[in-house]
Chain A
């Protein structure tokens, strides 16, 4: 187990390096410097700026000094907001994004597993079709469509909840969390339905039933344990996806989170901010994938065997 974790950690390093390198050179390859947007910057000011951001040095030197700074956890200064560092901006947005992601994760896990388990108990009946068709809606309705529709119906027409904002008016967190959760809820529902279907046909479930246990004990105590392994394994990547994918929801509902900063940075051509966020998101995704891999192997001894037999 320790060797497996170490192996995966070592594998993560080249991945991260690829991300950093690709982002760095992509951004440097961009036509027009970061300051070309401002009209008529006097040459001496431009020169001072370039010196400040080390743009006057050879690209390779810039690359290595960026790597060096990164090794210290320093993502550099922001191009657009000269007073602020990328680190500051990321940590200003992260708590909001994390809170939103956490709510969405909770919603999708609770709602998704309930729907999936209910559906799996009576496959190919209305009890199966109704939750699963609803799940299909969750998969097919993209958040940038679902968000505005929810806003329109519950915010504007029914006036049940506030339309936008974050933490200003009670209830304004409901719609964004639901919107962000929808796709994942649907996916969790399908995962848990599949897992439960497989487990419920196993011999040990038959044994449990033969012992005369009531059906709900069989389902909850014996079925869920094995049936929800795929869901647990999905939680890690899902949370990473919720964090890095929340920029749609943040943009729609005007939530001051990391995702919205990223989109703004992309439009403002705030290159250091774009690079910093990309690297940060990549590291997050790699970390959560790693965690969920470890969790999956830890939960399922069968998987452990698989991993050692064909080495990854």
Chain B
């Protein structure tokens, strides 16, 4: 959502320059990407309106009904406690999407600032900062986060921070590379000679110009973050009941998949459709914003 909003703002603000208009044209021609954007917007609207959309209340049980296959009353069936699966999927989706967006925002903030500072100041500062990134890259982070969750308990805030703290590395590298080339261009020289402060140069002139690759990478980070949350919840190390997420629903679904396969299939579909949408949108944005790089 946030990236779309930024993109829209920029398209409005920079009518003069054709980069964003061109990109938008290219993106619109990519049917998969537009489809992804559409699905994603639907998911976000559903997540925002969940309390009004959900047909049942979140904790409403019906032990007599138990696990029932999809029917007119319960479109996606019910779980072993007779809770409406559609309702639980909607609420779980809120958490999954929130983790995706918030953790990505954390990564975005750290990565952009870090990369800009390293790229702008260059020299020894850059060398030290990027060496640190190299070191962090070599760490087995999956394992570290599992360790963190085990040691400090399953706290949703910690989950956001931990995942965000891992995902900023690539962002920092991308931004640093961009800033390094940008700062040698005339408009930065002009800004320096006008006597603008370094902070103004960084925030007004450098960061806005790195937006293209940053948007692309952000769109591709969200699915990997969501996947990670789902995976941690699947292991029982992420979101804890009574809260729910798609990963947690999948892990419950696996336990009873032999008798009640819909409890695995629907949460799985919800997660993978969202991941598909995000990946197609990200690929489309990459092609649109940077036509030179093809899919790797």
B276 within 8 A of A: yes
Nearest-neighbor residue (CB-CB) of B267 within chain A: A145
- What does the 1/0 interface line of A1-42 toward B look like (CB < 8 Å)? 000000000011011001100110011011100000000000
Task: Say whether A248 contacts B272, CB under 8 Å.
Answer: no
Task: Say whether B294 contacts A282, CB under 8 Å.
Answer: no
- B residues in contact with A149, CB < 8 Å: 264-265, 268
Task: Say whether B143 contacts A152, CB under 8 Å.
Answer: no
Which of B54-62, B70-78, B115-123, B147-155 contacts its partner?
B147-155
B110 within 8 A of A: no
CB distance from B238 to the nearest CB of A (A): 12
Chain B stretch 239-293: residues in CB contact (< 8 A) with chain A = 247, 250-251, 253-254, 257-258, 261, 264-265, 268, 271-272, 275-276, 279-280
Q: Given A141, A148, A251, A266, which contacts B272 in the complex, CB threshold below 8 Å?
A: A141
A97 within 8 A of B: no
A197 within 8 A of B: yes
B144 within 8 A of A: yes
Task: Say whether A145 contacts B250, CB under 8 Å.
Answer: yes
Nearest-neighbor residue (CB-CB) of A183 within chain B: B227
CB distance from B224 to the nearest CB of A (A): 10
Report the tally of A-B residue pairs with Cβ distances under 8 A.
Answer: 116
Task: Say whether A263 contacts B235, CB under 8 Å.
Answer: yes
A185 within 8 A of B: no
Given contacts A145-B250, A278-B143, contact A266 B257 (CB under 8 A): no
- A residues in contact with B138, CB < 8 Å: 12, 15, 19, 282, 285-286, 289
Given contacts A18-B135, A18-B139, A144-B230, contact A278 B147 (CB under 8 A): yes
Task: Say whether A266 contacts B268, CB under 8 Å.
Answer: no
Which of A55-63, A101-109, A186-194, A205-213 contacts its partner?
A186-194
- B residues in contact with A30, CB < 8 Å: 150-152
Give the CA-CA distance A198 to B109 in the complex, in Å: 34
Give the CA-CA distance A31 to B139 in the complex, in Å: 24
B53 within 8 A of A: no
Interface residues of B: mostly helix, strand, loop or mixed?
helix
Nearest-neighbor residue (CB-CB) of B237 within chain A: A266
- B residues in contact with A142, CB < 8 Å: 227, 230-231, 271-272, 275
Task: Say whether B279 contacts A145, CB under 8 Å.
Answer: no
Task: Say whether A274 contacts B150, CB under 8 Å.
Answer: yes
- What does the 1/0 interface line of A242-254 toward B look like (CB < 8 Å)? 0011001001100
Interface residues of A: mostly helix, strand, loop or mixed?
helix
Give the CA-CA distance A11 to B275 in the complex, in Å: 36
- What does the 1/0 interface line of B136-167 toward A look like (CB < 8 Å)? 00111011101110111000000000000000
B223 within 8 A of A: yes
Task: Say whether A144 contacts B234, CB under 8 Å.
Answer: yes
Q: Given A14, A15, A18, A26, which contacts B147 in the complex, CB threshold below 8 Å?
A: A26
Task: Say whether A148 contacts B279, CB under 8 Å.
Answer: no
Give the CA-CA distance A156 to B259 in the complex, in Å: 11
A113 within 8 A of B: no
Task: Say whether A136 contacts B276, CB under 8 Å.
Answer: yes
Q: Given B146, B264, B294, which contacts A148 in the complex, CB threshold below 8 Å?
A: B264
Chain A CB within 10 A, most for which of B139, B140, B254:
B140
CB distance from B196 to the nearest CB of A (A): 29
B296 within 8 A of A: yes
- A residues in contact with B234, CB < 8 Å: 144, 248
- B residues in contact with A151, CB < 8 Å: 257
Given contacts A15-B138, A145-B250, A282-B138, contact A191 B276 (CB under 8 A): no
B124 within 8 A of A: no
Give the CA-CA distance A197 to B295 in the complex, in Å: 10
Q: Given B148, B250, B296, which contacts A191 in the complex, CB threshold below 8 Å?
A: B296
Nearest-neighbor residue (CB-CB) of A140 within chain B: B275
Task: Say whether A27 contacts B147, CB under 8 Å.
Answer: yes
Task: Say whether B148 contacts A281, CB under 8 Å.
Answer: no
Give the CA-CA distance A29 to B150 in the complex, in Å: 12
- A residues in contact with B140, CB < 8 Å: 19, 244, 278, 281-282, 285
Give the CA-CA distance A263 to B142 in the complex, in Å: 11
Task: Say whether A19 contacts B151, CB under 8 Å.
Answer: no
- B residues in contact with A141, CB < 8 Å: 272
CB distance from A213 to the nearest CB of B (A): 26
Listed in ascending order, the chain A residues whose CB lies under 8 Å from chain B are 11-12, 14-15, 18-19, 22-23, 26-27, 29-31, 132, 136, 139-142, 144-145, 148-149, 151-152, 156, 190-191, 193-194, 197, 230, 244-245, 248, 251-252, 262-263, 266-267, 269, 274, 277-278, 281-282, 285-286, 289
Show 8 A/B contacts (Cβ-Cβ < 8 Å), sorted by A.
A14-B135, A19-B140, A142-B272, A144-B230, A148-B253, A156-B258, A263-B235, A278-B140
- Additional A-B contacts beyond A26-B147, A190-B295, A191-B296 (13; CB < 8 A): A12-B138, A15-B138, A19-B139, A31-B152, A139-B279, A140-B275, A141-B272, A144-B234, A145-B271, A152-B261, A245-B142, A267-B150, A274-B150
